[in-house]
Amino acid sequence: MSTTSVEISGAIYHLGASGNGASVADSAVAAGVAFLRQTAAEADSDMDLVSQGHLDVLPRSEAARTALEAARTAAHAGHPDHSVAAAKYAVAGALADQTVQHMRAASHLESAYVVSGECGAFSIDFEAVLDVPSDLRGALWLEMIRGLRPGVIKGGIAVAGPRVPNSADGDADIVAIYARSGAEAALSAILIADSVELSDRAKNQTIPAAEDIWDALSKGVRVLSPLRQANLVRTGVLAHRGRGRCIGQIAQDRLLRFGVSDWR
């Protein structure tokens, strides 16, 4: 496994690849870094445009266009508004998507991933193992992938909530989304996380009642469901104070770092 980390436009990206020999993986990661630098620079020039919230604009970069396409699909599913944070997160996911595709196109790889924070894209051959450096092994995105395996081969993962600075304003501890792409996962994660809100009474309690927590998580599920019907979401996990909701196929017993003891 060849891995590296690179800072681009103030964000840290982690890239990894495994293939038939160290040189193949090293070459793929190097190609991925060069490609990511170029595409991120192109996307930077579109960030002001993307952050305005308009859906009828045409950015120059592919990453920004991909993010807006996800936002348009969400709008058709009943969610016309998205935050600046959601737009930026979706662009980060799109950059990860493009870079993984570029790495795999350059050479045959058994696995590849590109992640920024808790948002990224991955591709794994069925029998391959996705390995990461020790400092990433506690990441929620990785635990999501392990919960989805062995049936899932590629796609995007994004997590929103307090563990991800400036990602969402809702009350959920964790909202984790698996989707076809990192861009779709990122946008959906924030839309859903923003909708998880405790009642005013529950917010004033040191420990909210269990039913108040379930009610808040159900608000997120009601946002998730139409996004899933629109194929923006494949699997979603919502958690708050030891309680969690799962939508889609995932092994709940593998989600240990989500801190959930009561699943519905």
Q: Read off φ and ψ for residue 195, nearest 5 degrees.
A: -90, -10
Instruction: Identify the pLDDT of residue 145.
Output: 94
Tell me the two tokens of residue 202. 């529950």
CA count, 13 A, side-chain hemisphere, 259:
10
Rounded alpha-carbon distances, angstroms, from residue 37 to 8, 87, 112, 157: 7, 19, 17, 21
Measured in whole angstroms, how far is the alpha carbon of residue 200 from the centre of its chain? Answer: 29
Q: What's the domain range around 46?
A: 2-263
Give the pLDDT score at 28.
96
Give me the number of domains the chain comprises: 1
Mean pLDDT of 24-47: 95
- Indicate whether 31 pLDDT > 80: yes
pLDDT of residue 151: 73
Q: According to the model, what pLDDT value does residue 147 have? A: 94
| Under 8 Å between Cβ of 185 and 195 | no
| Spatial separation of the C-alpha atoms in residues 126 and 181, rounded to whole Å | 18
Q: In 3D, which of 146, 153, 118, 121 has the Cα closest to residue 131?
A: 146
CA-CA distances (angstroms) from residue 110 to 35, 51, 59, 70, 120? 20, 36, 33, 28, 17
Mean pLDDT to the nearest integer, 16-43: 95
- CA torsion angle for 176, 74, 84, 141 (degrees, to 10)? 20
Classify residue 107 as exposed, middle or buried by CB count within 10 Å of its CB (0-12, 13-18, 19+). Answer: middle
Is the pLDDT reported for residue 53 higher than 80? no
Looking at residue 116, which CATH number applies to its domain?
3.10.520.10
What DSSP letter does each residue of 14-41 carry, written as one string? EEEEEESSHHHHHHHHHHHHHHHHHHHH
The predicted pLDDT at position 248 comes to 96
Q: How confident is the model at residue 107 (pLDDT cuts 50, 70, 90)?
A: confident
Give me 111's structure tokens.
């696995």
pLDDT in tens, 183-228: 999 999 999 999 999 999 999 898 899 999 999 999 999 999 999 9
Distance of alpha carbon 153 from alpha carbon 155, whole angstroms = 7
Bridge pairing between strands 174-179 and 109-116:
unpaired
Is the full-model pTM beyond 0.75?
A: yes
State which amino acid sits at residue 214: W
Q: How far apart are CA 89 and CA 95, in angstroms?
A: 10
pLDDT at 93: 98
Instruction: Give the mean model confidence (pLDDT) for residues 103-124.
Output: 94
pLDDT band at 85 (very low <50, low <70, confident <90, very high): confident
Average pLDDT over residues 116-124: 96
pLDDT at position 56:
78
Of residues 34 and 48, the one with the higher pLDDT is: 34
β-bridge mates for residue 114, sequence order: 15, 121
- pLDDT at res. 80: 74
**Structure confidence by residue, pLDDT tens digits, 122-175:** 999 877 888 899 999 999 999 999 999 777 889 999 999 988 887 888 999 999
Mean pLDDT for 97-117 is 94
Per-residue CA distances from 120 to 89, 90, 114, 144, 264 (Å): 10, 10, 5, 12, 26
Largest CA distance in the chain: 59
Q: What is the pLDDT of residue 159?
A: 98
Could you tell me what percent of the chain has a pLDDT over 90?
76
